[in-house]
Structure 1
């Protein structure tokens, strides 16, 4: 004989415990917070990209060093990158809190779920340490304007022109035409020849270069 497990029907008490207005309110508040945050981030990004003088007032002098890196021709690129990062962070936070409140209003015990998510987050964190390191390095490279697209940089691995960059990878074209993909977290030292007063070393004249080995041989 085959035994089949009977599915327990939902009782009226469980249905009555569901707070449908609370679910709708939670979703509405989450959407509203996301729209307001996106509007504010877009407005700040636009003003920074246009070179707003709002933060140059006397009572905002304390924030000037952090924004000095944006005060040049590449501030549009920097502002858009930071704006996209802020949108992603705010979107994840708003979605997480909205889902928690919706499940709570649906009479779902979220304590085991939070425990599982915490354990999963720890496991992912250990497995993605290098990825997180690359992203953090990319954020600081962007904020501090260490280099940008079109700059000639020198690292321990390569000397070339930056063709593209994001929060994880910097793509550099070397003098011989090879394309190098540098992980931001692995760039321990970088020199920007486009920002300073770099002077290329001059090669000695051909006759002096030919005479040097002969003089050494004569000695």
Structure 2
């Protein structure tokens, strides 16, 4: 009986090179960083959605255009979109960095793993170029405030009202009631009739544009705005 127990490893033994304290510390720091980052992002997005003057301060004035909105619904939608994007980016970064530290503390050589991940990333990148393009375009459309929910926009495919916006797809309802799903990466040019002053140009019988009527309507619009 004694001889059998003598060949068993001690209960507290661990493989050489493995650092349990290092693993615990890495996981703890990763969770703490993620919680702090998500808390800060949540606070910022709530203040932006409620119309806070936080970004009017000189220190953060550079970020104000990214959060400019014309109404509450649009402001809330843009704040939630940007907040969700930031949370996703932070989550991915924390998982990757924490995972690398955990693997190192497990005495695992991560160099071959990084090489494999790099090759896999290149393969996925080639296969999902259009998807990545759509997501990047959606991010810039949101940040640059090119249009928002409720805006009347004009693209090469359709003229209609924006009903929903995502990082990949913009949904537009045209005048005849049809729903159009536009991939953000394929919207090369867009006109926003809800930003600034929009005055329709009238065509004459010979097909030319009546600039005079447009100027008259513009003056009437200015007079109404002044009154």
TM-score, scaled to structure 1: 0.80
Residues 70 and 150 of structure 1, relative CA distance in 2, 3 Å threshold = closer
Map Cα deviations across residues 51-83 of structure 1 (whole Å, 9 max, x no partner): 22233234444444444x346432211111000
- Secondary structure at the counterpart of residue 45 of structure 1: helix
Cross-structure match for 1:126: 126
Residues 85 and 61 of structure 1, relative CA distance in 2, 3 Å threshold = closer
- Unmatched tracts of structure 1, length 5 or more: 1-10, 209-219
Counterpart-to-counterpart distance in 1, 2:25 and 2:64: 40
Cross-structure match for 1:166: 166
TM-score, scaled to structure 2: 0.78
Cross-structure match for 2:156: 156
- The answer to whether the 8 A contact 1:70-1:79 is kept is no
- The answer to whether the 8 A contact 1:164-1:172 is kept is yes
Counterpart mapping for 1:127-142 below 5 A = 127-142=127-142
- Secondary structure at the counterpart of residue 15 of structure 2: helix
- Secondary structure at the counterpart of residue 18 of structure 1: coil
- Unmatched tracts of structure 2, length 5 or more: 1-8, 206-227
Q: Aligned residue pairs: how many?
A: 195
Cross-structure match for 1:86: 86
Cross-structure match for 1:96: 96
Residues 52 and 40 of structure 1, relative CA distance in 2, 3 Å threshold = same
Counterpart-to-counterpart distance in 2, 1:110 and 1:47: 41
Map Cα deviations across residues 145-182 of structure 1 (whole Å, 9 max, x no partner): 11111111110001111111101100111122221111
Deviation at 1:200, TM superposition (A): 3.8
Deviation at 1:48, TM superposition (A): 1.4
- Secondary structure at the counterpart of residue 164 of structure 1: strand
Residues 128 and 77 of structure 1, relative CA distance in 2, 3 Å threshold = same
Residues 62 and 149 of structure 1, relative CA distance in 2, 3 Å threshold = closer
Counterpart-to-counterpart distance in 2, 1:28 and 1:194: 49
Counterpart-to-counterpart distance in 2, 1:178 and 1:70: 27
Counterpart-to-counterpart distance in 2, 1:57 and 1:164: 31
Deviation at 1:25, TM superposition (A): 1.1
- The answer to whether the 8 A contact 1:51-1:71 is kept is no
- The answer to whether the 8 A contact 1:103-1:110 is kept is yes
